[in-house]
């Protein structure tokens, strides 16, 4: 699975980072960074939550 971000929609509000900091990081430059583009399958429940909770629906998962 691969994590996708629509940076045109993303506001870097860090909701995803709060759910899964080992995959998402908002740095001092106020941009979202993906730390693991292809995270392990055991993170899928938390990834699904991060996708669902994104206020701008900027995140998606690709199998």
Give per-residue pLDDT as tens, 28-63.
999 999 999 999 999 999 999 999 999 999 999 999
pTM of the model: 0.94
Mean pLDDT on 11-39: 97
Give the confidence band of 18 by pLDDT, cuts at 50, 70, 90.
Answer: very high
C-alpha distances out from residue 29 to 10, 12, 33, 47, 63, Å: 14, 10, 10, 23, 30
Please report the pLDDT score of residue 32 as a whole number: 98
């Amino acid at each position: 699975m691969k994590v996708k971000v629509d940076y045109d929609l993303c506001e870097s509000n860090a909701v995803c980072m709060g759910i899964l900091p080992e995959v998402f990081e908002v740095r001092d430059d106020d941009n979202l960074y993906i730390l693991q583009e292809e995270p392990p399958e055991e993170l899928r429940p938390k990834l699904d939550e991060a996708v669902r909770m994104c206020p701008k629906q900027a995140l998606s998962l690709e199998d």
